[in-house]
Amino acid sequence: MSERRRRSTRSRFRGNYSDEKEKESEKSKTKEKERSREKDLKEEKKEKEEEKEVNNIILTSQNDSSNPEYSSIHLNKEKLLELLKCPLCKGYYRTPYTINECMHTFCRSCIFKYFGASAQRETCPICNTKIGGRPMDSLIYDNYLDSLLNILFPKFEEIDKKNIKLLYKKFREIGNSLPDDEEEAKLKRPNVKIYIMPENKKEHNFFGSFLVPKNFDVKSLKELILKKINKSDIDTNFIIVKYKDNELLNNFTMEIIDNKYGFDQDKNTFYYDIIK
């Protein structure tokens, strides 16, 4: 065989070998893509199944163990949670109240605020059912729904307690305490015993002892003294009240005085005098 023919044969052989390698490489790449696609499809399917499982609540019954397929109920969690939202604030019910006439339910604060904002509101905010001139009387506390919410959202109760404490505190600070504030009720209990005596005994002869709450302030004490000495027409700025030789400001409460100067265990005496 001539040298030219040998070279031509080797060249064709290399070309064929190169084509086969390229085809094998393409096949390998195609198979790799198919495997990757299959893997993606499996993962996607798994994610959908997990999502379906998360978004569904399964209620099981032990009454019919012979028919397991009929002993469980699948509920869509998202749809269920939508039913637990107040139509006014769009959040989950907090202390739910229901209108007796139409059975629409709202958060207590939402429906109280709705009817409290205007005396003219006598209908349900959802269906406009007429309730009457005293709509608050138609509201019924939904104990069962509230219990269900506390089971589904156990942290809500803790959050509510903290928020209520902050609310009461805020109202106390602005001097407009809420009626059911337990801390305010404690402050109003007569748990401080004070004695009142005149600094100038020649001019004033009133003295006495009183039980007063911790939030009882000096201005109220001055008004009490002026009333007792029959000088209610005098302005409180013309009477001086002292404790342990310290002249007290009108806004000082018993609690402030105790923190500032310290009450004695046996006797807390306040001296008074009128400026001439």
Q: Which of 218, 226, 225, 228 is nearest to 261 (CA)?
A: 218
| 219, 238, 273 from 223: Cα distances, Å | 6, 11, 13
Output the pLDDT for position 6.
59
Q: Give the 3-state secondary structure of residue 274.
A: strand
Q: How many CB atoms lie within 10 A of CB 216?
A: 22
For residue 248, being part of any structural domain is answered with yes
Q: From CA 135, how far away is CA 239, in angstroms rounded?
A: 50
pTM above 0.95, yes or no: no
Choice among 32-41, 44-53, 200-209, 263-272 with the minimum mean pLDDT: 44-53
* pLDDT bucket at 239, cuts 50 / 70 / 90: very high
Secondary structure class of 59 (helix, strand, coil):
strand
Q: Is residue 163 part of a domain?
A: no
Quick one: tokens of 104? 């629409």
| Residue appearing with tokens 């269900």 | 148
Confidence at residue 244, expressed as pLDDT on a 0 to 100 scale: 92
Q: Give the mean pLDDT of 200-219.
A: 87
- Whether residues 203 and 268 fall in one domain: yes
pLDDT surpasses 90 at 272: yes
Residue pair 252/218 in contact by the 8 Å Cβ criterion = yes
For the chain, how many structural domains are there in total? 2
Question: Rounded to an integer, what distance in angstroms lies between the CA atom of residue 129 and that of residue 207?
Answer: 63
Query: 2 or 170: whose pLDDT is higher?
Result: 170
Q: What stretches of 174-204 show up as alpha helix (H) in DSSP? A: 182-188
pLDDT at site 221 = 93
Residue 44 forms part of a structural domain: no
pLDDT at 10: 57
Could you list the residue range(s) of the whole structural domain that residue 265 is in? 189-274
Share of the chain above pLDDT 70, in %: 76
Question: Does some domain include residue 238?
Answer: yes
Strands (E), 139-207: 139-141, 192-198
How many other β-carbons are positioned within 10 Å of the β-carbon of residue 213? 19
Where residue 267 sits, what CATH number does that domain have?
A: 3.10.20.90
- pLDDT at residue 54 above 50? no
